[in-house]
Amino acid sequence: MEKKEFIENVYNVMQKELGESCKLELKEVKKNNGVVMQGLLICSGSRNVVPTIYLDGFWEAYKSGQCFASVIRQLLKLYREDTPRASIDMSFFQYFDKVKERICYRLVRQKGNEELLRESPHIDFLDLALCFYYAYEGQIGEGAIRIKNSHIQRWGVKTVDLVRLAEKNTERIFRWKCISMDEILRESPDMDDMQELLEEVVRDGFLEYNPMMILTNAKRLFGAVCMLYPGLLEKLAGKERKNFYILPSSVHEVILLPETGIETPEELKAMIAEVNTTCLAPEEVLSDNLYYYDSREKKIRIIC
């Protein structure tokens, strides 16, 4: 069974299982970096919340040997357990005063996100873009509502207003966290590819030990933007005014590597490329470039 047939079969069986009280729709959903995912939307009764279940992971599970009946059971369980039982009042999003305290920002790459950036207020930063969203917290848990040009037109505000608010809100809601790479690897057994890559780097004499630090937020969600928190890199550079390389390891975190003179920018950039192609999902890639923080200039720049 090919993917298209699999998705159509899922749609037909789910419609039969849920009955006429539910209206199902298949929709391609554009994610970060131009990634397109296959979504199954399920509308039930008068509820205004329509859950989107992404079928790509289920397709991969099916290809790996999971039976189709098991896939359907998981989808039904996911829908029945995670769907809110009542409508959610989202009228607050029409009013700027009701959203301004939770307007935040995140970093995405410009390449591959051209369409997203055309319809969204943003600020270019090197090869990246600073985008804005509302950090939702309520009846349906936590989530993010992307802020579009149509929203700020309705609110009567400008991009500069979003920058001012997001600079304060993001650091308050998503506290930064800087921990050693070794600690991250111990906590995350699913990062075997990253572990092997770092061991190879050390074994080849490129680094005598692993001085890398991971900068992210406490939730490890779109934490790469922490490197733009006001004064944070200056604080991490410390009294010795050390410069460091910044490896954009994903949209969720960056790696800080103090400059020692042993490493070369070319080798670090090659490491970024390997991580992006072997360790990350396409929508999690932040950049292929290597950044450098100069503690005297207090600036980040692309070094190669």
Residue 196: per-residue pLDDT: 57
pLDDT tens for each residue of 213-224: 899 999 999 999
**Domain residue limits, the chain:** 3-82, 91-173, 176-302
pTM (two decimals): 0.83
96 is written with which tokens? 């700027």
Edge-to-edge strands of the sheet including 213-217? 176-180, 213-217, 253-258, 244-250, 291-294, 299-302
Rounded to whole angstroms, the Cα distance separating 207 from 102 reads 41
Residue whose entry in the numeric block shows the structure tokens 């075997």: 192
Q: Which of 52, 43, 59, 48 is nearest to 10 (CA)?
A: 59
Rounded to whole angstroms, the Cα distance separating 144 from 222 reads 11
Rounded to whole angstroms, the Cα distance separating 92 from 86 reads 17
Rounded to whole angstroms, the Cα distance separating 6 from 2 reads 6
Q: Which of 50, 68, 60 is nearest to 11 (CA)?
A: 68
C-alpha distances out from residue 165 to 71, 94, 156, 157, Å: 43, 17, 15, 12
113 Cβ contact partners less than 8 Å away, ≥ 6 residues apart: 32, 33, 34, 129
Residue 137: per-residue pLDDT: 81
Residue 52: per-residue pLDDT: 84
Q: In tens digits, what is the pLDDT along the chain, a chain of 304 residues?
A: 899 999 999 999 999 999 988 899 999 998 999 999 999 998 876 666 677 899 999 999 999 999 999 999 999 998 887 766 656 677 888 999 999 999 999 999 999 999 999 999 999 999 999 999 999 886 556 788 999 999 999 999 999 999 999 999 999 999 999 988 667 666 655 555 555 555 554 444 444 445 788 999 999 999 999 999 999 999 998 865 789 999 999 999 999 998 888 888 999 999 999 999 988 999 999 999 999 999 999 999 999 9
Inter-axis angle of helices 68-82 and 3-18, nearest 10? 50
Full 3-state SS string of the chain: CCHHHHHHHHHHHHHHHHCCCEEEEEEEEECHHHCEEEEEEEEECCCCCCCEEECHHHHHHHHCCCCHHHHHHHHHHHHHHHCCCCCCCCHHHHCHHHHHHHEEEEEEECCCCHHHHHCCCEEEECCEEEEEEEEEEECCEEEEEECCHHHHHHHCCCHHHHHHHHHHHHHHHCCEEEEEHHHHHHHCCCCHHHHHHHHHHHHCCCCCCCCCEEEEECCCCCHHHHHHCCCHHHHHHCCCCCCEEEEEEECCEEEEEECCCCCCHHHHHHHHHHHHHHCCCHHHCCCCCCEEEECCCCEEEECC
Point out which residues pair with 59 in neighbouring strands: none
174-204: buried (b, 16+ CB within 10 Å) or exposed (e) per residue?
bebeeeebbebbeeeeebeebbeebeebeee
